[in-house]
Structure 1
Amino acid sequence: MAVPGTTEQKIIDAAVRLFASQGYDATSVQEIVAAAEVTKGALYHYFRSKDDLLFEIYRLLITAQSADMDRIIALGLPAAETVREILTSLVVSTAERVDETAVFVREMPRLGEERMTDFRAERRRYHETFLAVVEKGQASGEFSSTVPAETVVRIAFGVVNQLPMWYRPDGPKSPAVLAGEIADFVLAGLR
């Protein structure tokens, strides 16, 4: 992962801003290097192509979210606390990186087949890990099993996946407040 302030991070940040505001196709390499205040040579030192830069945006986001989930799972908390922690972490990271998430959601089909395969595998692992937490809570009686665990997970992730469509960082709710409300909603449905 790039360190903030480095040339690589400046390029990524500029690309995220441009891809989020005007789209991948409408953004040229020249615009990225101008916004990052670097040379084309610097961009090509870190990224072979604009596609590689786009993939790095995805990789950084999903790697960070997966690492947060793995850290939470390793705590061995009860199911309700684990669900709350995972959802809170996911909502906060999505809201705090709303432009990256918007680029991710909108431009994901641009990934090549090999990268899509890798992305799907990581996304599936995240989904299945969260699903196992909900299923464990249902099996132990901590959660109601009225709604199948798969449906609960799809609803929870559906809400998070829609954040880039409506969440505004300058809006009335901080990422932490919003995360708490979403976690409360999901947990209320599980009780």
Structure 2
Amino acid sequence: MARTTDGDHGPVPQRLLATATRLFAQRGYDRTSVQEVVESAGVTKGAFYHYFDSKEDLLHEVYARVLRLQQQRLDGYADAGGPVEDRLREAAADVVVTTIANLDDAEIFFRSMHHLGPQKRQQVRAERRRYHERFRALVEEGQRSGRFSTATPANLVVDYHFGSVHHLSTWYRADGALSPREVADHLADLLMRALRP
């Protein structure tokens, strides 16, 4: 996306996404109109349709931008040197931290995914599958090298961790007892204990 700005409030696409995330979280995707998004963002409908084909496209991008960030970070951990257990632990903690930092986006998307058409849903599933497969490859690398237990299949190990990640929006609160990093460390440690030979 281009870095075109509208006024002094930052790039238009980012303003639209931030506004849509707030409104979708407050009112729900189906009860928020494009008109309400553009009015609240302070842009025109023409500006909206310059960047997004539809409200559905906007919903997809709310989630896709988080997934792109997480994929980029996971690729960095996976491609780094060092012991596989260190790379997996960092990746496992990072997905928790980045999910908590974007809880509204994740919650909105999972609550509203059924509003996407078949093509967009298929695209999202493919993007998520790519992420999970890269994460699973780290588990399998450790299992092949003898660093991790092979008692549990890698697919189940990945499902175990991401089940916890997807559940975060149901209980995590910013004013709670644990910081995002503390939650991330606890969940990453649970994963690594499950893989201990």
Indicate whether the TM-score tops 0.5: yes
- The alpha-carbon distance between structure 1 residues 2 and 184, as it changes in their structure 2 partners (threshold 3 A), is farther
| Match for residue 39 of structure 1 among 3, 20, 44 | 44
- Count of residue correspondences: 191
| Match for residue 66 of structure 2 among 61, 74, 82 | 61
Query: Is 1:158 aligned to residue 163 of structure 2?
Result: yes
User: Percent identity between the aligned chains?
Assistant: 47
Letter in 2 for 1:94: T
SS at match of 1:116: helix
Write out the 4+ residue segments of structure 1 that deviate beyond 3 Å after TM superposition. Answer: 1-4
| Match for residue 110 of structure 2 among 95, 99, 105 | 105
Letter in 2 for 1:153: V
Letter in 1 for 2:169: P
> Residue 95 of structure 2 corresponds to which residue in structure 1?
90
What is the Cα deviation at residue 171 of structure 1?
A: 2.4
> Residue 24 of structure 1 corresponds to which residue in structure 2?
29
What is the Cα deviation at residue 75 of structure 1?
A: 0.2
Contact 1:102 1:164 in 2 (8 A): yes
| Match for residue 12 of structure 1 among 17, 29, 40 | 17
SS at match of 2:131: helix
- The alpha-carbon distance between structure 1 residues 108 and 2, as it changes in their structure 2 partners (threshold 3 A), is farther
C-alpha separation in 1, matches of 2:92 and 2:83: 14
Contact 1:2 1:9 in 2 (8 A): no
Query: Is 1:117 aligned to residue 126 of structure 2?
Result: no
Instruction: Render the CA deviation track for 1:132-173: whole Å, top value 9, x for unaligned.
Output: 211221222211222222111101011001112221223232
The TM-score, its normalising length taken from structure 2, stands at 0.89
Q: Which moved more, 1:90-99 or 1:77-86?
A: 77-86
What is the Cα deviation at residue 184 of structure 1?
A: 0.8
Letter in 1 for 2:119: E
C-alpha separation in 1, matches of 2:134 and 2:109: 21
Letter in 1 for 2:160: I
Letter in 2 for 1:113: P
Instruction: Render the CA deviation track for 1:42-62: whole Å, top value 9, x for unaligned.
Output: 222222211111111122111
C-alpha separation in 1, matches of 2:52 and 2:138: 38
Structural RMSD (CA): 1.8
C-alpha separation in 2, matches of 1:22 and 1:2: 29
Query: Is 1:79 aligned to residue 84 of structure 2?
Result: yes
Gapped regions of structure 1 (runs ≥ 5): none
> Residue 192 of structure 2 corresponds to which residue in structure 1?
187
C-alpha separation in 1, matches of 2:194 and 2:177: 25
What is the Cα deviation at residue 26 of structure 1?
A: 0.9
Contact 2:77 2:88 in 1 (8 A): no
> Residue 152 of structure 2 corresponds to which residue in structure 1?
147
What is the Cα deviation at residue 2 of structure 1?
A: 7.5
Gapped regions of structure 2 (runs ≥ 5): 4-8
Contact 1:96 1:169 in 2 (8 A): no
SS at match of 1:141: coil
